[in-house]
Amino acid sequence: MEETVMMQAIMGLIVHSGNTKSECMEAIQLAKKGRISEAKEKINMANEALTEAHHSQTALLTQEARGEKVEVSMLLIHAQDHLMNAITFRDLAQEMIELYEHIKGE
């Protein structure tokens, strides 16, 4: 895989995963204040960012499936770690919003 394309995919993973986590943190803070509908909007935005992160990951997986070597580097491992953390954070944020919604009685 061309180094530039590889770097774009890795940076896409990192950036979009980071955006996912940020949107989720904002969603939790909104839910904490009782602003549940806004929190759910933030989760939707997080899901969009997560989809973009998955597109970056898919580009790498597709190259590997085609038989093109994808060099595993610390940066790639770091990017994958960001993605996995973003997914976990999104799942927990959704649960927390549901809890706040239940507590607030909406």
Q: Let me know: does 44 contact 105? Beta carbons within 8 Å.
A: no
Instruction: Return the axis-axis angle of helices 74-104 and 3-32, rounded to nearest 10°.
Output: 20
Give the Å distances, CA to CA, from 84 to 5, 14, 28, 38: 21, 11, 19, 25
Longest dimension (CA), the chain: 54
Q: Let me know: does 76 contact 10? Beta carbons within 8 Å.
A: yes
Catalytic one among 16, 54, 55, 78?
Answer: 78
Tell me if residue 78 is catalytic: yes
What are the residue numbers of the active site? 78
